[in-house]
Amino acid sequence: MKRISLTQYLVEQQREHGRIPSQLRLLIEVVARACKRIAISVNKGALGDVMGSADTENVQGEVQKKLDVISNEVLIEANEWGGHLAAMASEEMDTIHLVPNRYPQGEYLLLFDPLDGSSNIDVNVSIGTIFSVLRKVGHHHGVSEQDFLQPGRFQAAAGYCIYGPQTTLVLTVGDGVAMFTLDRETGSFVLTEENVQIPADTKEFAVNMSNLRHWAPPVKRYIEECLAGKDGPRGKDFNMRWIASMVADVHRILCRGGIFMYPWDKREPEKAGKLRLMYEANPMAFLVEQAGGMATNGHDRIMDLQPGKLHERVSVILGSKNEVQRVTDYHRDTGAEAASQPAQAA
Ligand code: AHG
Ligand code: MN
Ligand code: MN
């Protein structure tokens, strides 16, 4: 079998479809290189100084793990000097990170969740890095947080790298989804799956069931109907998976279908959800839609939400189209209150 590297794939995509200008290609290659470095740190585990807490807090008040901090630094260092970026934003940084003046400024904005699934680091379960790419719109001098506040439908590219039994980079530039497996012997990402498609129907859901009592009625209704199995209104048995790394749960859905939910719940009613719109929901929604799936917050398409601030949270329902549509219809049927969700459709 002829092996196609990530570089060759990107060059050919540009040649055939004109989708990947040189700055974007450089950006994707730099992110991929950073992910390789993160993979090396992840693999060291207890043999390196990478496990446990960093004893610091991020802007969302979460205690940072050492690997959250390391991964954030690796991504920043790798992306600062190439001339492809105007600025970066990360789940682990309070404010945007400008490219230092000594380097040329590019036209792209990079957003990332450097290490997704932090609670799984110390227990040797799959984790990942999620990224989203926007264009800086307009020709004004400098960059501000405002430049980042674009709905997800304007993403130029998005993807994630999963550090699991294999290290796999999953990418979209708006022309379908491709997967690249890291060949550790040659150090290159090799194309192993193209035109990834999520089946429209599924019998598998992913949700943290321990929160059931806190959910809104439409979400409860959907899950209770799944749990009723063959004898219930759905007339079939469902299976459940919850890895607690969004990257790993979404990866499974891209591979074999399913529905993933991290819905609003009344533990912290003022928060729209747990997951972050710009670093988690938008890039995953872009991938899922590009693979024929669907992603909503129960009311609106995630990629149509106008972000009000960088670290905004959102309720997330994504995966197999018919199931996501069903949950979204249940929200409409019960007239569930959207007021708890600050992000509205643009
Ligand atoms: P992060 O590690 O980047 O903070 O993200 C963790 C997220 C997401 O990956 C996962 O789906 C979810 O949190 C798990 O939350 P629970 O522990 O509440 O199940
Ligand atoms: Mn995350
Ligand atoms: Mn994270």
Domains of the chain by start residue, with CATH: 6-193 (3.30.540.10), 204-340 (3.40.190.80)
Measuring from atom 6 of ligand 1, which residue has the nearest CA? 117
Ligand 1 atom with the shortest distance to the CA of 91: 3
Confidence of residue 306 (pLDDT cuts 50, 70, 90): very high
Q: Which residues contact 282 (CB under 8 A, 6 or more apart)?
A: 132, 152, 155, 158, 302, 303
Lowest mean pLDDT among 17-26, 53-62, 77-86, 160-169: 53-62
Residue 210's SS3 state is helix
Per-residue pLDDT tens digits for 217-233: 999 999 999 999 999 99
d(Cα 230, Cα 212) in Å, to the nearest integer?
21
- Residue 151, Cβ neighbours under 10 Å: how many? 19
Per-residue pLDDT tens digits for 259-302: 999 999 999 999 999 999 999 999 999 999 999 999 999 999 99
Average pLDDT, the chain: 94
How many angstroms is it from 280 CA to the middle of ligand 2? 6
Residue 163's Cβ-count burial label (10 Å; 0-12, 13-18, 19+) is buried
How many angstroms is it from 65 CA to the middle of ligand 3? 9
For ligand 1, say whether the CB of 113 is within 6 Å of any of its atoms: yes
CA distances from 321 to 103, 196, 249, 280, 291 (A): 44, 14, 16, 19, 10
d(Cα 50, Cα 71) in Å, to the nearest integer?
10
Residue 335 has pLDDT above 60, yes or no: yes
Residue 342's Cβ-count burial label (10 Å; 0-12, 13-18, 19+) is middle
Confidence of residue 345 (pLDDT cuts 50, 70, 90): very low
Measuring from atom 17 of ligand 1, which residue has the nearest CA? 244
Phi, psi of 341 (to 5 degrees): -115, 100
Length of the chain: 346
How many angstroms is it from 147 CA to the middle of ligand 1? 27
Q: Which residues contact 54 (CB under 8 A, 6 or more apart)?
A: 63, 64, 65, 66, 68, 69
Question: Among candidates 107, 103, 133, 131, which has minimal Cα distance to 38?
Answer: 131
